[in-house]
Amino acid sequence: MLSIIAAINKNRGIGLDNKLLYWLPNDLKRFKSLTTGHTIIMGRKTFESLPKGALPNRRNIVLSHNMQNFAGAECFNSLDAAIQHCTQDEEIFIIGGSSLYQEAIYLADKLYITEINDTEKDADVFFPPISPNEWIEKSRECYPSDDKHLYSYCFINYERK
């Protein structure tokens, strides 16, 4: 099963200058909870943006045309090649960036989206549109802003129709 996980704002912005737009502790906990023990696939820039390199307790796969060596991660030159090296019964998570999300959204079975209630922050990378013709919202949990979360947000799970 191929899943996508992302935190987006109301404009579908996901990052600026190769950094996440938002720091939401509960989103990071959800990300860790959902992806631990599974395979994560990311682009080179996403891997390079990770503060401590490969994420622990996950199989890390990096997509790169240059086939570089990424410490703690496997490298493939395409999403198709990476998927072919995964087993049928594992849940694979696409964790970014923008061009990988754009490619994978047509192949994904599930979307795990954190939607941040903000339209003001500048972004230079965006998540692709989530078409209601292709996706059905299965669950939504919303939370207000608080002392650790500057913005209100919702955890939204989608499944392909």
| pLDDT (tens digit per residue) in 7-30 | 999 999 999 998 999 999 999 999
Q: What DSSP letter does each residue of 78-122 carry, written as one string?
A: SHHHHHHTS-TTS-EEE---HHHHHHHTTT-SEEEEEEES-S-S-
Report the pLDDT averaged over residues 68-72. 90
pLDDT of residue 72 exceeding 90, the answer is: yes
Single pTM value for the model: 0.96
Kindly state the DSSP code that residue 35 receives in the 8-state scheme: H
Q: What is the largest CA-CA distance in the chain?
A: 44
pLDDT, position 10: 97
pLDDT of residue 67 exceeding 80, the answer is: no
Residue 124 phi/psi, 5-degree rounding, is: -120, 0
Q: Which structure tokens are listed for 56?
A: 């622990």
Query: Residue 68's pLDDT band (boundaries 50, 70, 90)?
Result: confident
Report the pLDDT averaged over residues 90-95. 96
Look at the block and give the residue holding tokens 């549109």.
129
* Pairwise CA distance, residues 138 & 111, whole Å: 10
Look at the block and give the residue holding tokens 């943006």.
49
Which of 29-38, 63-72, 77-86, 119-128 is predicted with the least confidence, judged by mean pLDDT?
63-72
